[in-house]
Amino acid sequence: MEFEDIKVGEKLTTRSWTISGKDINLFVAMTSEDMSRALKFAAIHLDDDFAKNLGFKARLVPGMMLLPIIQALVTETGLTKDTVFIGMDKVKFVSPVVPGDSVHVEVEVVNKRKTSKGDRGIVTLRCTCKNQENTIVVDSEQNYMYWLKG
């Protein structure tokens, strides 16, 4: 989508993404030096019994794992095609996500401005990630740089 075509207040909803226990294992393995350390320091993400003893339904999806999922879902809509992701603000992890949950993102264009150079624009999207029960799990603002036509 072109910068010139984007309207502040525009809204859209992404498709859903179901997160599996295998997805969590891969994410933790990728972000840990080794699994024995991960089990020691990330038990809440790997051990259902540990998480249940803390009052959760099951082990938790790492919050940092949700951020690239949110960005991927937004990218699939075409709204940020051929842009550069330049930052994320006001990130709040609101509710837990567990294996088997399906998340989607409700996107709203909240700001749009040209840069001082005049050949680019910055668009800010409020991204509200919700689970299958429509409960907010993550709320954030994402900023993208667009190139202007001509």
d(CA 33, CA 67): 21
Residue carrying the six token digits 């040209």: 114
Average predicted confidence (pLDDT) for the chain: 92
In this prediction the pTM is 0.91
Q: Please tell me what DSSP assigns to residue 100.
A: T
Closest CA to 74 of 103, 49, 98: 103
Band the pLDDT of 113: cuts 50, 70, 90.
Answer: very high
In the chain, domain spans:
1-19+63-150, 20-60
Tell me the per-residue pLDDT of 32-81, one tens digit each, with 9 for 90 and over.
766 666 666 678 888 999 999 999 999 999 999 999 999 999 999 999 99
Closest CA to 61 of 16, 15, 95: 95
Q: Please tell me what DSSP assigns to residue 143.
A: E
Q: Is the pLDDT of residue 28 over 90?
A: no
Domain boundaries 1-19+63-150, CATH class = alpha beta
d(CA 44, CA 57): 11
